[in-house]
Amino acid sequence: MSRPPSSFRKPNPLLDLLRARQVRFGLVLSVLVVAFALLGPLFAPHAPTDLVGITYGPPSLDAPLGHDYIGHDVWSRVLAGGVSVVWMSLVSAVLALTAGTALGLLAAFARRRVDQTIVWFTDVFLAFPDLILVLLIVSMLGREHWIIVLTVAVAFAPGVVRLSRGIALGVVNQEFVEAAEMMGYPRGRILFREILPSILTPLLVHLGIMLTWAIGMLSGLAFLGYGVAPPAADWGLMINENRAGLLIQPAAVFGPVLLIALFALGTNLLAEGVGRVTSRIEEKTT
């Protein structure tokens, strides 16, 4: 990764990122799956709830992935079933990031009591294993999409609080913040102009990792029967629905499994690739 010494230009982080093979691969994979999920419904030959074939009908020319437990066209459902996976995992990861960062920064800034209280409560939540927490909340409040999304966000937020507080503590003590404070800049401005940009990269990397987790957790919930409720088409739900037919009509399970795996893989590669490249840039620039 040696660069000609003459290049004194400001490094362009975006270009650096795209130069890394892992990032490119992860990005392409993620974009492809997301595009498949978002545009898929437009190309579905049938409505996801149409009963067009026999139960667990095998793949044929008309139905490349066969039919499912009640006679839906699996291909149409695979095309239609990505939207919920994509938006639910994205929104829950973003929610966790936003709420967690806000609390983490608050803790780092406020110090003392507020800090201790926040940290202590993240301890409480971290002592609950993720899935148990989600199971309890979902069976308590129901399985509407937004409840599941919120619950997953709640499960992930304490981790973000820890992370953002830690980074912010490191930054808060640095000279430029102290200088800004001495110059009498308002705190909000310091927060948004100085601190947030410098902690953005690790948080975005964490967002990508949470996305992978969210995909796993949402499909795991659906697998246990606590996820999205039928008749909606949803990749996680499809695994659950057609699991009884796994040995008869495996395509009905493997279609969604493959897409979930690819989506998780893509986001994971992307997040880690970005993480690796940015830390390399940091090493160079320091």
Partner 1 sequence: MRAGLAAGGGLVLGGLLPACSEGGRTTEVASGANGDEPRRGGTVRFGVIEGSQAGNLDAHKPVGSGAFRGWALYSKLWEWGLDARPKLALAEEAEVNADATEWTIRLHKDLEFHHGKTISADDVIFSLLRLTDPQLASPYAGYLYSLLRNDVKKLDERTVRIPFEKGAGLVALAECWMSWGGIVPTDYDPVNNVVGAGPYRLKSFTPGQRSVFTRFDNYFKSGQPYFDEVEILDFSDQTGRLQALQAGQIDIAPNLPFEQQAFLKADPRFEVVSSETDVWHSFDMNLEKAPFDDPRVRKAFRLIADREELVARVLQGQGRVANDLYSPSDPAFNHDIPQRRQDLAEATRLLKEAGHGNGLDVELVTSGGAGANAALVFAQQAKKAGVNVTVSKVDGSIFTGPKRNDWTFSTGGSVSRPFLLTVQQHDGPRAVGNKTHFKDPRFAELITQALGQPDLDRRRALVGEAQRIQHESGGMLIWGYSNVLDAVSKDIGGVTPDRTGFAGWRTDRIWRRSIA
Partner 2 sequence: MTTLSIGPQHLLPQLRRTAAALRARAPAWLPWFIGRLLSGVGVVLVISFIVFGATQALPSDPARMILGPEAPEHTIETLRRQLGLDRPLVLQYVDWAGQVVSGNLGRSIDSNVPVAELMAGRFANSLTLTLAVAAVAFPLALVLGIALALRRDSLFDRAVLSSVVLFKAVPGFVIGICLVMIFSTSVFNILPAASLLDPALPAWRQPQYLILPTATLALSVATYLLRLVRASMIEAMDSEYVTAARLRGVPERRIIWRHAVPNALIPAIQGVAMTFRVLFGGAVLAEVIFSYPGIGNTLNAAIEMRDLPLIQGIVLVVTVGVVAINLAADLITVLLTPRLRTATRIRARSPGLRNAASLWRTGKSWRVSV
Footprint of partner 1 on this chain (CB under 8 A)? 49-51, 55-56, 69-71, 139, 142-143, 225, 229-231, 243-248
Residue whose CB is less far from partner 2, 63 or 134? 134
User: Which of partner 2, partner 1, none does residue 198 bind to, with CB < 5 to 8 Å depending on kind?
Assistant: partner 2
Separation CA 154–CA 160 (nearest Å): 10
Q: How far is the CB of 233 from partner 1 (least distance, A)?
A: 12
By beta-carbon proximity to partner 2, the closer residue of 51 and 106 is: 106
3-state class (DSSP) for residue 45: coil
Based on CB atoms, which residue is closest to partner 2, 77 or 162? 162
Name which of partner 2, partner 1, none residue 110 binds, using a CB cut-off of 5 to 8 Å depending on partner kind: none
CA 72-69-265 angle, to 5 degrees, is 80
Q: What residues are paired with 67 via a beta bridge?
A: 73
In the block, residue with structure tokens 């800090």: 115
Distances (CA, A) of 119 to 113, 129, 151, 159: 10, 17, 20, 10
CB of 227 to partner 2, least distance (A): 12
* Binding partner of residue 179 among partner 1, partner 2, none, CB cut-off 5 to 8 Å per kind: none
* Residue with Cβ nearer partner 2 (106 or 169): 169
Interacting residues with partner 2 (CB under 8 A): 119-120, 123-124, 126-132, 135-137, 139-140, 142, 162-163, 166-167, 170-171, 174, 198, 205-206, 209, 212, 215-216, 219-220, 223-224, 239, 243, 246-247, 253, 257, 260-261, 264-265, 267-269, 271-272, 275-276, 279, 282, 286
Long-range Cβ contact pairs of 73-77 (< 8 A, separation 24 or more): 73/45, 73/46, 74/238, 74/242, 74/251, 74/252, 74/255, 75/44, 75/45, 75/255, 76/44, 76/45, 76/46, 76/47, 76/48, 76/50, 76/233, 77/48, 77/233, 77/238
What does 70 interact with, of partner 2, partner 1, none (CB < 5 to 8 A by kind)?
partner 1
Residues 6+ apart with CB under 8 A from 55: 67, 68, 69, 70, 71
Residue 232 vs 281, nearer CB to partner 1 = 232
**How far is C-alpha 265 from the geometric centre of its chain's CA atoms?**
11
- Shortest distance in whole angstroms from residue 132 CB to partner 2: 5
Q: Tokens in use for 9?
A: 């230009």
> Taking the complex as a whole, how short is the minimal distance between the CB of residue 141 and partner 1, in angstroms?
11
For the chain, how many residues are written? 286
Please compute Rg for the chain using Cα positions. 23
Q: Judge whether 221 and 142 are in contact, CB under 8 Å.
A: no
Read off the tokens for 67. 């039919």
Residue 248 interacting partner from partner 2, partner 1, none (CB closer than 5 to 8 Å by kind)? partner 1
Minimum distance, C-beta of residue 89 to partner 2, in the bound complex (Å): 12
Smallest distance, partner 2 to C-beta of residue 11, A: 14
Smallest distance from the beta carbon of 45 to partner 2, in angstroms? 27
Q: Which is nearer to partner 2, 39 or 248 (CB)?
A: 248
Pick one of partner 2, partner 1, none as the site partner of residue 132 (Cβ within 5 to 8 A by kind).
partner 2
C-alpha separations of 3 from 6, 13, 16, 39, 284 in Å: 8, 14, 12, 41, 11
